[in-house]
Amino acid sequence: MDAFLVTGPSRLSGTVRAAGAKNAALPAMAAALLTDEPLVLEDAPDLADVKTMRTLLAGMGVSPRGSGATGLVLDASRVTSTEAPYDLVRTMRASILVLGPLLARFGEARVSLPGGCAIGVRPVDLHIMAMEALGARVAVEKGYIHAYVSRVGSRHGRLSGARIAFPTVTVTGTENVLLAAALAEGRTTIENAAREPEVADLARLLAAMGASVQGAGTSTITIEGIERLHGTRGVPHAILPDRIETGTYLAAGAITGGDVTVTNARPADLGSFLGALTAAGVDVSRGDGWVRAAAPEPLRATDVETAPHPGFPTDLQAQFLAMMTQARGTSRIVETIFENRFLHAGELVRLGADVRVEGRMATVHGPSRLQGAPVTASDLRASAALVLAGLAAEGPTRVRRIYHLDRGYAAMDHKLRSLGAAVERIPG
């Protein structure tokens, strides 16, 4: 199990390129199951979660080839299994994204229940509710979701379009419906749909495959199902840039009083986060495909509350909280999406931060003089927050269990070093 050894303090400056977004790549890969023609995805990031999705698809008979800028090719012309096994799903909840496409194209799917994870219980009831609304029969047996569409003679049945109103905004739930409804019979309307840019990116891919999708990026999405979708046919689908990775490097610059520019960025996707950086006194500038954050010293305390897009992203909450340990005053950070996403707080306190968590709110008093110490990562974004704190701390910080980080950040050690940080990947 690798660790990161971060030796601070350092002041980051320079330019890094954001990779393709993990949370756009995963649904795009699941979309390959919808067609018997190859799908070519450009800029799928080199991450553990993307590898897990490759393994999951390979187990179904899809043969993933290639990667990165040259394109990841997924060919689902010979699918031999419609099962997502526990061993893979337990390592990556986003495996649930195969449920919709398998049901839509093959009329059946067996997907392991993901179970809990570090940031909360994270049920999949809304995914199941939505598939039932589209006409699937769903039974949960022996830890698996078994879903099927009743057969019509010798053929498997087809899902039927429906109106689906989500009681809670769910990102992968919305994506699962998009994927399923694209091959369903008739029109599907999703109300209270997630407005995340990754949802809009999936809609763009589905449209390129021949689907008719209206309203992606708003809270009402309409999909007219068709019988057959095609592949990307010579025009590879470029995965949109990772806004969370972008935000993480901007926060890394800011926590060190530095000046960081991220290219291959879409600042428009980061409105709330950039607004919070500005409120914290950071000088944010942006242009077509880039964003820059130059930090003052010290930062100003700033309150944030996470919310579905276009609100402040929960996936940047931990990094912002780490940043606020270096801000003057009291910041209140409220987490409204997940019930248990403050595991980084206790570890930050080990580095000398003054953070108190009560229910869904963390209160941070700053600035604190952080001192390097061994800390343990609990989930992907918490790990990033600990690395950021390590950059600002005096002396060595060993961040253990960096495999969490590898799920969502490609070559973070290299990228941080290119900005002037002292970060090494070490065993243990």
Active site residues: 117
Could you say whether residue 383 binds ligand EPU (CB under 6 A)? no
Which among 254, 253, 189 is positioned nearest to 215, based on CA atoms?
A: 189
Which among 172, 173, 111 is positioned nearest to 145, based on CA atoms?
A: 111
Q: H or E stretch including 141? A: strand 137-141
Which residue is listed with tokens 């880039």? 290
Site for ligand EPU in 299-318 (CB under 6 A): 314-315
Measured from the CB atom, the residue of 217 and 420 that comes closer to ligand EPU is 217
Span of 62-70, 103-111, 121-129, 295-303 interacting with ligand EPU by CB under 6 A: 121-129
Could you say whether residue 99 binds ligand EPU (CB under 6 A)? no
Rounded to a whole number of angstroms, the minimum distance from the CB of residue 122 to ligand EPU is 4
Site for ligand EPU in 323-362 (CB under 6 A): 337-338
Residue 251 to residue 273: CA distance in whole angstroms: 10
Span of 98-106, 123-131, 289-297, 342-350 interacting with ligand EPU by CB under 6 A: 123-131
Site for ligand EPU in 166-225 (CB under 6 A): 168, 170-173
Residue 101 to residue 120: CA distance in whole angstroms: 26
Q: Residue 412 is which amino acid?
A: M
Distances, alpha carbon 249 to alpha carbons 111, 122, 375, in Å:
35, 27, 20
Binding map of ligand EPU across residues 1-30, x = CB under 6 A, - = no contact:
----------------------x--x----
Span of 116-124, 292-300, 318-326, 357-365 interacting with ligand EPU by CB under 6 A: 116-124
Of the CA atoms within 13 Å of residue 251, those in its CB half-sphere come to: 31
Helices (H), 305-362: 317-324, 343-350
Cβ(144)–Cβ(111) below 8 Å: yes
Rounded to a whole number of angstroms, the minimum distance from the CB of residue 247 to ligand EPU is 12
Rounded to a whole number of angstroms, the minimum distance from the CB of residue 415 to ligand EPU is 17
Q: Which stretches of the chain bind ligand EPU, using CB under 6 A?
A: 23, 26, 93-94, 120, 122-127, 168, 170-173, 314-315, 337-338, 380-381, 408
